[in-house]
Amino acid sequence: MGLFGDAVGKAKRLGNKALDTASAGLRIGTKALGSVSQLGHKYVDKVNHAVNFVEKIPFVGGVAAPVLAPVKGVLGVANSALGVVDTAKGIGDNLSAGVRATQSAVASGDYHQAANVLRDTAKDTYASGKVLRSSAQNVLERARRK
């Protein structure tokens, strides 16, 4: 019984280390995505505001329209790309929550609940990842056309 108990203890410690490492990696990744999103929205919003301001000036807006058209196209692609970043951050946040819930279940000794949380998190993340992939492909295709 001692050998079996040691093996279970080592497996439990290894599993906890893996979950801790995954949680730390997800935390860093979602923090980075959040920073990219925040800065991206900040600058895209400023450029968008400037373009709208120039367009509203009666004579200047008409003269600047040919120059502003490509800028507006790039702004559209940038907004779509930021939407992809925001979606990726949301997926990371949900995955982090799943890992934390799994850690709590393992700490309390409810391994069946931990397996259920991991399964549900994996299903949700896979479905969200498919949507994210198609969104990213659409943004890349739009960027190539511009």
pLDDT digits 0-9 by tens, 41-90: 999 999 999 988 988 888 888 888 888 888 888 888 888 889 889 989 98
How many Cβ atoms from other residues are within 10 Å of residue 12's Cβ? 14
pLDDT digits (tens, 9 = 90+) for 77-125: 888 889 889 989 988 888 888 888 888 887 787 878 888 888 888 888 8
Q: Which tokens is 52 given?
A: 């709208």
136, 84 in Cβ contact below 8 A? yes
pTM above 0.85, yes or no: no
Continuous H helices in 1-146: 2-56, 58-108, 111-145
Contact by Cβ (8 Å): 91, 34: no
| 111-145 helix and 58-108 helix, angle to the nearest 10 degrees | 160
